[in-house]
């Protein structure tokens, strides 16, 4: 009975503000956000994919306007491979369109020309050269840098203009094994890195993808050289690959992102092993524990109990050309000491999560990269009072999610966007949520999550600045349990708040804006302004649904027997509900050391 009464008191206290997450769920939510930040720091894959330079565009001669030839057909003869290069049809039609030629497709490589019914265009030598140069430039722009277009000797008396496309093929991809005792090139694996096929047309985008897969390992440096092969119209790709002697990276970090009830100051040790199976793979492990005790509870007999928390994660990812497989598990634990009538109680909780994702780069050029992903996930949360499980708080959910993301690079800046659809199922013995009894939520949730990230560097005088904006939003198609709600009010979304309390609802969004001044090569100061809003059918009667805050911070890195990184900030709330408990001034820090 005491357990039930205590749980009821805790349950009621956490819902004193309808929009505030219950204590256990808020701890898990903040732990997940913190772990996501750690995972990004561990992998640190460059935001900008590899972009290799292409040969300069061909110039078009402006001579030979006087003589022209009636051209009824244009025929393209492809040599070097039975199958033409991918996108060959669009390469030709783009060239015809750019020269304002009206055409009819006879075959994918043969076109009929006409200006109007029964009239054919008359092309000068300059027109023919311009068309040839345009199509050749299109071939290069599409990445087929060793393929060539030329005009063979021919008679135009029959009204047919012939072009020949000599496809440049890939002979082999080889590793440079010179000085192997220093480069450790014997560890390199090109099979999982490059999507290029031998004896197929060589494409620059495939090489860029291969370099991305090699360079995803922070301990690896990789470059390529394209060299002529002994076989005609074929090229070899020579990979210059070097890895550090010890491919393991270790990181220690210290921050104040914990909860007052379980320990404000946290320490994390993490390890990343690059290329453990010689597959261009990454294995990462991290462990976090409170460095200071959480809120104390003293019973009538003077016994003191303290809160604590810990977590660990294991992740693994491996590429296969344009594909990437990543998987991971996470475990969270917290222990809150609660004062009872006659003694202290321990309110504890655990959360176990796992995921498996398969992604593929479905498009890339010199400006854009689009990736599609499909994956599955599993999560189980349990809560206890003195080792007695609270059944109503037991959650076991599973499902799948689909994601499409885009990286676009413009002269002004970089735009990263993604759209995720998350669907709950009954897989892995998932259990029914208690809210389903009253149609107030379901474990079979349907959720859309959108993210937009914009970064733009600029200068004021000789000083380097940048503007960084992040927009995230959530939309639900089913009633959600509180664990799936969108929450704001911490350093991970709307800054200016401690994260001890958050606003939560089925739908919401937040916008973060930073102006960063890089006053030194390795040191920056930033000013941030954030705003967020939550809403939903079940949350129409919220006292307030908006938070905003601002922050001033310093971050940077320096080398001294390893690599040191720091982030120090001070923030304040600008708008919040009257009864929303938070400090007037919120400070925070993160200091890490890696080697």
Together in a domain, 158 and 193: no
Together in a domain, 472 and 573: yes
pLDDT attached to residue 49: 64
Together in a domain, 115 and 186: no
Together in a domain, 94 and 180: no
What backbone torsions phi and psi does residue 48 show, to the nearest 5 degrees? Answer: -95, 120
CA distance 422 to 406: 18
Together in a domain, 119 and 225: no
Together in a domain, 423 and 494: yes
Instruction: Note whether residue 422 is domain-resident.
Output: yes
pLDDT attached to residue 15: 35
In 3-state terms, what secondary structure has residue 158?
Answer: coil
Instruction: Note whether residue 155 is domain-resident.
Output: yes
CA distance 214 to 223: 9
Together in a domain, 72 and 196: no
Q: Taking a C-beta distance cutoff of 8 angstroms, is the pair 362, 369 a contact?
A: no
Report the CATH number at residue 485: 2.40.160.50
Report the CATH number at residue 233: 3.10.20.310
CB atoms within 10 A of CB 459: 9
pLDDT digits (tens, 9 = 90+) for 238-247: 999 999 999 9
Q: Taking a C-beta distance cutoff of 8 angstroms, is the pair 110, 75 a contact?
A: yes
CA distance 242 to 250: 20
pLDDT attached to residue 55: 53
Residue the block writes with tokens 């009975």: 1
pLDDT attached to residue 16: 34
pLDDT attached to residue 413: 97
Together in a domain, 119 and 154: yes
Together in a domain, 546 and 524: yes
In 3-state terms, what secondary structure has residue 327?
Answer: strand
Together in a domain, 588 and 515: yes
Domain boundary among 243, 267, 302: 243
Q: Which residues of the chain register pLDDT less than 70?
A: 1-24, 43-66, 81-84, 115-118, 540-543
Instruction: Note whether residue 224 is domain-resident.
Output: yes
What backbone torsions phi and psi does residue 33 show, to the nearest 5 degrees? Answer: -65, -40
Report the CATH number at residue 125: 3.10.20
pLDDT attached to residue 31: 80
Residue 532 sits in which domain range?
402-595
pLDDT attached to residue 57: 45
Together in a domain, 128 and 173: no
Instruction: Note whether residue 363 is domain-resident.
Output: no
Q: Which helix (H) or strand (E) holds 403?
A: strand 395-409
Number of domains in the chain: 3
Residue the block writes with tokens 């003293």: 298
Domain boundary among 222, 243, 264: 243
Together in a domain, 96 and 198: no
pLDDT attached to residue 140: 92
pLDDT attached to residue 13: 37
Longest Cα–Cα distance of the chain, Å, equals 110
Proportion of the chain in helix, strand, coil states, percent, rounded to 5: 15, 50, 35
CA angle, corner 520, sides to 518 and 526, nearest 5?
A: 30
CA distance 267 to 538: 38
Instruction: Note whether residue 381 is domain-resident.
Output: no
Domain boundary among 221, 243, 265: 243
Instruction: Note whether residue 189 is domain-resident.
Output: yes
Strands 169-175 and 220-228: unpaired
Instruction: Note whether residue 500 is domain-resident.
Output: yes
Instruction: Note whether residue 175 is domain-resident.
Output: yes
What backbone torsions phi and psi does residue 224 show, to the nearest 5 degrees? Answer: -135, 155
């Amino acid at each position: 009975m005491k357990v039930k009464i205590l749980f009821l008191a805790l349950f009621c206290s956490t819902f004193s503000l309808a929009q505030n997450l219950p204590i256990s769920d808020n701890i898990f939510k903040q732990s997940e956000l913190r772990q996501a930040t750690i995972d990004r720091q561990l992998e640190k894959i460059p935001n900008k994919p590899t972009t290799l330079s292409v040969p300069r565009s061909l110039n078009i001669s402006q001579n030979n306007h006087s003589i022209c030839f009636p051209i009824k057909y244009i025929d393209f003869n492809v040599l070097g491979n039975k199958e033409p290069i991918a996108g060959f049809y669009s390469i030709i039609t783009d060239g015809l369109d750019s020269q304002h030629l009206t055409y009819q497709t006879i075959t994918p490589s043969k076109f009929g020309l006409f200006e109007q019914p029964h009239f054919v265009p008359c092309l000068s030598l300059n027109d023919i050269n311009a068309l040839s140069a345009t199509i050749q430039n299109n071939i290069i722009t599409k990445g087929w840098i060793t393929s060539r277009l030329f005009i063979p000797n021919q008679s135009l008396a029959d009204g047919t203009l012939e072009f020949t496309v000599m496809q440049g093929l890939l002979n082999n991809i080889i590793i440079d094994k010179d000085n192997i005792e220093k480069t450790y090139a014997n560890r390199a694996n090109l099979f999982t890195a490059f999507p290029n096929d031998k004896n197929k047309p060589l494409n620059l985008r495939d090489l860029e993808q291969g370099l991305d897969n090699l360079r995803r390992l922070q301990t690896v440096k990789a470059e390529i050289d394209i060299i002529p092969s002994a076989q005609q119209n074929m090229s070899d790709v020579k990979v210059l690959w070097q890895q550090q002697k010890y491919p393991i990276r270790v990181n220690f970090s210290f921050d104040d992102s914990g909860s007052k009830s379980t320990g404000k100051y946290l320490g994390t040790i993490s390890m990343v092993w690059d290329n453990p199976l010689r597959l261009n793979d990454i294995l990462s492990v991290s462990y976090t524990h409170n460095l200071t005790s959480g809120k104390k509870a003293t019973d009538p007999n003077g016994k003191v109990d303290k809160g604590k928390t810990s977590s660990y994660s294991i992740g693994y990812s491996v590429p296969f050309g344009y594909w990437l497989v990543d998987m991971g598990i996470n475990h969270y634990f917290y222990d809150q000491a609660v004062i009872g009538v006659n003694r202290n109680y321990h309110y504890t909780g655990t959360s176990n999560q796992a995921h498996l994702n398969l992604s593929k780069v479905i498009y890339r050029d010199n400006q854009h990269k689009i990736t599609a992903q499909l994956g599955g996930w599993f999560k189980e949360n349990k809560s206890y009072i003195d080792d007695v499980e609270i059944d109503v708080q037991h959650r076991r959910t599973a499902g799948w999610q689909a994601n499409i993301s885009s990286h676009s690079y413009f002269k002004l800046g970089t735009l990263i966007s993604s759209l995720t659809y998350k669907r709950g199922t009954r897989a892995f013995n998932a259990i029914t949520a208690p809210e389903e009894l009253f149609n107030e939520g379901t474990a079979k949730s349907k959720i859309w999550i959108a993210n937009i990230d914009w970064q733009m560097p600029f200068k004021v005088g000789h000083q380097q600045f940048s503007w960084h904006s992040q927009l995230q939003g959530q939309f639900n198609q089913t009633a959600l349990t509180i664990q799936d709600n969108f929450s704001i009010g911490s350093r991970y979304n709307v800054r200016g708040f401690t994260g001890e309390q958050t606003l939560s609802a089925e739908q919401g969004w937040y916008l973060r804006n930073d102006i960063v001044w890089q006053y030194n090569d390795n040191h920056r100061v930033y000013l941030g302004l954030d705003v967020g809003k939550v809403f939903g059918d079940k949350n129409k009667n919220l006292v307030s649904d908006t938070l905003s805050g601002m922050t001033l911070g310093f971050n940077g890195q320096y080398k001294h027997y390893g690599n040191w990184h720091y982030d120090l900030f001070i923030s304040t709330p600008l708008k919040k509900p009257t009864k929303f408990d938070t400090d007037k001034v919120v400070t925070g820090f993160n200091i890490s050391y890696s080697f």
